[in-house]
Amino acid sequence: MRAIALIGFAEALSAPEVTWSLADAGFEVIAFSRRGRKAPLRRSRYATVHEIPAPESNCAASLAALYELMVHLRSHSDVSGTLLALDDAAVWLCGRVDLPDGWSSAAPRGPLADFALDKERQIRAAAAAGFNVPASSVAHRATDVRQRRAELPLVLRPVVAARSTNGRLTKGHNWICGSESELRNAVEEWAESYPLLVQPYIPSTVGRGVFGLATDAGCRALTAHRRLRMMNPHGSGSSACVAEPVPEEIKVPVKTLVANAGWRGLFMVELLSDRSGTLWFVEFNGRPWGSMALSRRQRFEYPAWAVTGVIDEPPAATNERRSTPLECRNLGRELIHLVWVLRGSRSSAISDWPSFWPTLFNVVWRSRKSRFYNWRKDDLLVFLSDAVYTIRTNVFKFRERAR
């Protein structure tokens, strides 16, 4: 019998690519999904999906159901199981659930799970490691935010990426504020309901990510991606990205940050590059990233390496692949990107909003080295379902924010 890899949530963008990486490594892949959500992974021939209560509705019920699922899976099998979190909600859940006998975790637990979600702690650690960090403060009251209005434009985002509030897991919102009226509206919408991280808005930015696997031997298999387009030009996950070499000036800070945090397992360091080319630290993610497709197209099987603990390709063999200008794009996100471009900027802070016709050309045009996220020839329904699911869920978000 094959060892079990239990992954979640199944709705995460990286879920199909993580599933295929683990299945190709010989695991039986089981995924947990929020009850009632039609995750594209349900269409996969390589995974079995089980529903549990969404932690956004009931944290305690979600924890209990995940534990019961692990007990159930072990009761029908004599093989071991490994838990892997795919999104921030799952990091919170997997970091707190008890592990039954025969189970291990490739997801961060305890203090490491807290670090993976706490952006204030990450910023302090990044500054100590030598990263450029934007001037940051934490706001608990509206007056804390207004004290920085002279520094407009500003970015406001939750300090903690996922937190339990009255027994429910919540995330909060991000805002870009280019004027006092935008700042006032954001503060009213926020309503002092959770701590906010306040930072200056960095204009004309290019998003970058540095990825790797932390082991007892240090950081292994470092790679980097650059965002070509974001699903939402205001700031979001990428809809298209391209591989690039890891910037030399970042290698030491990345390794220092990981070592100082005592991190083990998968990680991503998100960065922004300003007009001068200076790289600024944004956040640290301790889970698979949305652009896992690009990593896997370069033969970096991070999910399988994280669960097995074995990196079967020495870093020296990856140097040539890192310079390959391979591009990956998500079909659903590219279409949503076009919708956002048509809607126009919602903040005066953004002076370089993309034009529609050049954007349409870039979305439609494909080079020989362009690949799609979540594409596998023998699991094609996942790709099609992912595009529909992405469009449907983001249209729902548009409506929710418009109310």
Q: What is the pLDDT of residues 323-376, one digit of tens each?
A: 447 999 999 999 999 998 998 888 888 878 889 988 999 898 888 789 999 999
DSSP 24-57: HTTPEEEEEEETT---GGGG-SSEEEEEE--TTT
Q: What is the pLDDT of residue 203?
A: 80
Place 398 in a pLDDT band, splitting at 50, 70 and 90: low
Surface-to-core class of residue 291, CB atoms within 10 Å of its CB (0-12 exposed, 13-18 middle, 19+ buried):
buried
Cβ-Cβ contacts under 8 Å for 58 (sequence gap 6 or more):
167, 168
Q: What is the pLDDT of residue 366?
A: 80
The answer to whether residue 382 scores a pLDDT higher than 60 is yes
Fold of 135-200: Dna Ligase; domain 1 (3.30.1490)
Mean pLDDT of 217-227: 93
Q: What is the pLDDT of residue 233?
A: 83
Pick the CATH number of 4-107 from 3.30.930.10, 1.10.10.10, 2.40.360.20, 3.40.50.720: 3.40.50.720
The reply to whether 206-372 shares the fold of 4-107 is no
Report domain extents, the chain. Answer: 4-107, 135-200, 206-372
Tokens of 264: 């083990």
Place 321 in a pLDDT band, splitting at 50, 70 and 90: very low
Go through the chain and tell me how many residues it has.
403
Nearest to 271 by CA among 327, 226, 233, 220: 226
Place 237 in a pLDDT band, splitting at 50, 70 and 90: confident
Q: Is 295 left (phi over 0), alpha (psi -120 to 50) or beta?
A: alpha
Mean pLDDT of 273-287: 94
Residue environment code for 180-218, b if the CB has 16+ CB neighbours within 10 A, otherwise e: eebbeebbeebeeebbbbbbbbbeebebbbbbbbbbeee
DSSP 367-402: -TTEEETT--GGGHHHHHHHHHHHHHHHHHHHHHHH
Pick the CATH number of 206-372 from 3.40.718.10, 3.30.470.20, 1.10.3720.10, 3.40.1620.10: 3.30.470.20
Q: What is the pLDDT of residue 316?
A: 45
CA pair distance 217, 107, nearest whole angstrom: 18
Q: In what order do the strands lie in the sheet with 175-177?
A: 137-139, 196-200, 154-158, 175-177
Q: Are strands 327-329 and 279-285 parallel, antiparallel or unpaired?
A: unpaired
